[in-house]
Structure 1
Amino acid sequence: NLVRRDAELLSKLQDSIFCTDPDGTITYWNDGAARLYGWSALEALGRTLAERVGRGAACDVSERLRAVLGGSDYQDEWEDVRKDGSRVWVDVRLTRFDDADGRPAGVIGISRDVTERKLLEATMRRDARILAELHDAVICGDATGNVVYLNAAAERIFGWNRAELLGRRVHEPLPAASAVLVERLTRRALAGEATESVDFEHRRADGSGVWIAYRAYPLLDAAGKVTGTVALATDVTERRRAEAERRQLEQQLLHAQKMEIIGTLAGGIAHDFNNILTAILMYAELCLLEAQQATSLSEGLNEIKAACLRAKDLVQRILTFSRFQEPEPKPVDLRLVVKDACKLLRVMLPATLDIRVDLPERPTSALADANQIHQVLLNLGSNAAHAMQNTGELTISVRAIGLDAPLPVRGGVLLPRRYVRIAVIDRGHGMSDETLARIFDPFFTTKRPGEGTGLGLPIVRGIVQNHGGGITVESVPGEGSVFTVYLPAALTPSTQMAAVQAGQATPRGRGERILVVDDEESVAILTKTALDSLGYRATHVTSVEDFLRAFEASPSSYRLILTDQTMPRLSGLDLARRVRAAGHTIPIIIATGFSRKLTPEAVATIGHAARLSKPFELHELAVLVHDLLERRAE
């Protein structure tokens, strides 16, 4: 009974179990062996083991049996052949069993199907070879974020040694700026999120630099639980260099065209500017006469202020239009941009051409660089005037729209979302289909030699596409053309409109001490007087040396520094950096009439600082000083 019970138990095991006598003849063959090798017990019993097991193995099974009978256990894996000719990988273990007298009675063998494991191992070896040969870096981390694998490309791209990174967080060897970025992406991947690709510049240990596109993904088990992360990093240095060169060429092209248009504007601007200067001079003289008669000066002074603001606006438009700078998309009300561009168009174009502007009543904000949209409108307006031979009506309209379906545009397709649409409509000679197909080709022009370069419309399309927008053109020969520009709508209102809608009262100080630095003594005194009138206690100096003596004598007594940007020996930006290097966190305002170095990025590096454009109104100065002091108090 005991033997029968043991036999029943062995027959139910999943593993293959077989026994042989000392001659190698099979004496036991369970159901697992039948399933694994395909031979029934009836077909196996009485046969030699070599006839049923190890038929595809490279080793001699009979020789292995003799070694086991001699007292050596045996274990190996081989690819065997079933009865039906199919192949199977098996793990085989052989051991001797003895009779009651201790003499070898035979061999018992256990074999197991390991085909899936062998296939998995082969796949893993193949994947490992692929990962090792990839040009992209692959970095795997465990559930805590520690690195458990990195390929050769990761060592090459980052300049790492495998041993120094394994077991550490991937961001730990990185410089501070990129470490923060990589750590944030890793945390998102550990939270189950596949991140977008982010570019950053990395400095290797040997001092060489590389631009890297980095993204991270979660590794999930069958239940969807995050078990680790895998990060892919690509060396995009050449791509970034090519993009930088392309941007540089585009900027040079844009700047060259701006200079060409400035020549057209010069005559009209000189006329307008002389009128403004005349108004300032005349109102100043009238005020002097009034002063001699001890009468009120308010009306004349208001006119002087209005004339100065017009002069400021005109000068700013000239600087904005001619300034060489990177595009800075931000929420802007396109109604204001169109109005501003139309002022320039009215100066550029003959009085025989009527410009009609169709604008919505509500603010229409788009994410755009106002300077470049000016250029788009001036190009399209100039082309429209040429098409109408400088007579007739040019219409520019602005509308906020929503696209519910993709919209084909020149060179692409706009995806459904909110846009701001600008349409420039002329009633000129129109274009044929052949001309329409080529108008955005560089250097293609229908104008006579000397009238155009053929670069205007390609630049327009480039600007619009760089904004994430698109442009369409409709034209009928003899009737006119419609150029429609689509720009992504801004999710936040424009800062221009926000300032107008706020209706902010002029804030006043509470006796806070402010140090004013300007090498022009009259400007320094005027600024000090303005701050005093706002309730502050201002001290002015006219040189960097005087500033250093005054500030270093008692830095804690001052609450804010207001410095000019353009000064001998040390610029306002350098002065601010010197203050920060000394460990002072005092708010700093840098005022400038025009400086290419004083960019928003440069000011941002100072920290707790702001830029103030000259000339400025008292209210503008009051709000900026108050905001900086309030932010420091928080």
Structure 2
Amino acid sequence: MLGNNTNENSVSTVKYVSVYISFYFGLFTLMAGLFVLAGWMFDIPSLKSVLPWFVTMKANTAVAFALAGLSLMLLALKNPSLLVQRLSQVFAAFVALIGFLTICEYLFGVQLGIDQLFFRESVDAVGTLSPGRMAPNTAITFILLGCTLILVNFRRSIPSAQRLALLIGIMGVVPLIGYLYGATVFIGIGYYTQMAVHTAVLFIIVGSGVIMLHPADGFMRTVTSDKMGGWLLRHLLPLLLGIPFIIGWFWGQGEKYGYFENALGVSLMIVFMMLILTGLAWGWAKTLNGIDADRKQSEDSLRESEESYRRLFEAAKDGILLLDFDTGVITDANQFLKDRLGYPNEELLDKHLWEVGLFKDIVSSKDAFLQLQTQKYIRYEDLPLETKDGKKLDVEFISNVYQAGGKKVIQCNIRDITERKKVTIALRESEKRFIDLLYASRDAILLIDGETFVDCNEATAKMLGYSNRNQFLMTHPSKLSPPTQPDGRNSFEKANEMMRTALESGFHRFEWMHRRANGEDFPVEVSLTPIAIKGKNILHCVWRDITEHKKLEIQLRQSQKMEAVGQLAGGVAHDFNNMLSVINGYSEMLLREITPADPKYDRIKEIHKAGERSAELTRQLLAFARKQTIAPKILDVNDSVTGMLKMLQRLIGESSELLWKPAANPWKVKMDPSQLNQILTNLLVNARDAISGAGKIVIETCKMEMDEAFCRIHPDAVPGKYVVLEVSDNGCGMNKETLERIFEPFFTTKKVGEGTGLGLATVFGIVKQNNGVINVYSEIGKGTIFKIYLPRHESENEEKDEIIDMPVIIKGTETVLLVEDDKSLLLFARTLLERFGYTVLDAGTPVKAIKLAAEYTGGIHLLMTDVVMPEMSGRDLRDKIMAARPGIKCLFMSGYTASVMSKNGILDEGINFLQKPFTAIDLSTKLREALA
């Protein structure tokens, strides 16, 4: 391989040097001609003739050589222009013309006046027939030289020009031999003027220059060849030309000076020739052995390289196909291609590319193959391809052209990208889903690099009040937050701390106050996650608007607060009702036993009034706590309000105007009528107190269908149809702080002694107990509006329950089993029952009641029991006694409704219930209802 490379490099150098020498041969010829002319001009014999006894170079000969040298120099220039070529041809034509005119003088015996046109020569000049006239052989050679310099300009004529140049060189060598060996016959033709020695040398030089002008053409191709013949010729030619000259010269000198005779000279010449040729043969053999060793080493290296290439070719994971550049015939294919595509050798090799069905999609005709030839490089990134068994593949097809073994080859690489394409498609779909998810998100999602926004979704711009994401991305982060956060810290400093925390811990979540483009501040929940992009930590940020969440949080805290207070109020009311039952019962009993004229009557009556007021207070507590027991009826709100208008007008007084605006054909609702009374009473009392002097109170109803948007703002509501009861006034109104607390129990803005603080709490409890919603709107100096949304009752065709009014005590004779864990209430209830004519069996505990029911031999008609007792509930007691005495009736009594008695405070079907505290009339009425 090294030898080949070296040889190739040396050949390239030879070609370059050949043209280089040609140029300098032309220059030398030009300078020689000019020197001879200078000799004639200044009469310098040594410039005109090499030696005094040698023939002079004539002046016109020197001119012809100068023109020939100049022509050769111009031709040797790199990429000569057309003008330069034409100028060279003109000089060559003058050279030929000078020779031609001289020959004409010889042939026709005429004197054309060109021989001594510029300079005169003596008639006795050495070897000269006609003074100043060049030798005939010189003239002939100039004719040949001029023609040669013209022909060498044309590529087709280069071989002919080289042959003529060789002839010119020979015509220079022959006179030179004559001078060396004294053979005058070689110097001239007959008795005509002889050729000068330096003329002969210049013919050899200029002829050689023309031959070397085109080293890659004609017989110079053999000389400059990288083959063995070229190498031998380059090394042998100088020796073959030089050695005979040297040996002949020595032989001639020996004979001239008498050193040896002719026979001895011939013998010596033979011996020298044998020695020289033997030495040359030995040197050539050694050199050839070295070259052969280099060639063998190169062949071995080439073989190893080819084997390595073949292994790589066959082991390649891509299919590789080699095509003949000129014919398109498949010359080779690797094993991967054959195995993957199912085509054996006989169906691929030595077939034209367009004959193989595998590639019909890209090379279905010869025209397509021409595309592979002309474009040199073709790439199809995603090409459908079908294997022999019909399997569909997606491939990447690449073709390129390169040189191999001196021939052009088209290499086709076929890479199976089926799986890669599936992965790419899956990745693209995943990216699309991610982008769709990103831009469909209602949360703001963005990337932050320090104080720069890298990217964001459209929701970010929308949340912050910017028209589009590009406008947002150009905004500096400092403009998106108020100067300080709710905790009083500087926003810039806190933001840097939050980002550092996220970068250090890998994730950080916190709440932040942002500022919209319109200057509005709003809370967000921020999630920061560092991610690496191009080796740099970038923060992936999610902002979630928690404005509604904060509102719900406040509502939840308020609801939990109300629930806790309600639980407390309900528990207090339960125990308080037991005591009030005794107080009110005995005071009512005493009032029935005496007349109004009795001095004790007024005092007992005051006791009874105080008890009633206390009972009303406990009812309000239970209503707020949603613990009161109710008996819902189907109501027309318009009818119910109309029936209460006179009472409500008396309640607010004559100074305030009461307006009633009923809706047309309102929907029905299902609730306890007394609760509707409580709602209106409490709201109108508050409205009356809010109006100073004359004012106006408006009650109106309407129908409304709540949608999802309304329910998001009011989380206690569910979508559906509602009847709206609205109470508005033009009173003093309330500030924000008061509005936040109006439904708290015992909260009041009135003076001490003027309000209990339970009115609006009671309204709130009633509305919630009936699955409704209450909203309040108020402004200082403009008034207040309460809106109560009650769910529509769909079964409007149900008959309304009739309310039975029993103002008198109804007595009975049945046997009643009375169970109450409060001893005072047990004694009071027993006294009332006995006064009503009933037979009473009393028990202070459920266990005692069960025992009493089992031991009593007579009939027991009714079980009257408390609901909440230490040993077991009233319902469990009823079940046990009914198991022993089927058919026994039951009446429950309690200070509030327990879960065993009702759901959400609404009595279960078939349950008889007496609310504590109760009066004698309440008791007698419920007894008859239970026993009916």
Normalised by the size of structure 2, how large is the TM-score? 0.30
Q: Which has the larger radius of gyration?
A: 2
Q: Which has the higher helix share?
A: 2
Normalised by the size of structure 1, how large is the TM-score? 0.40
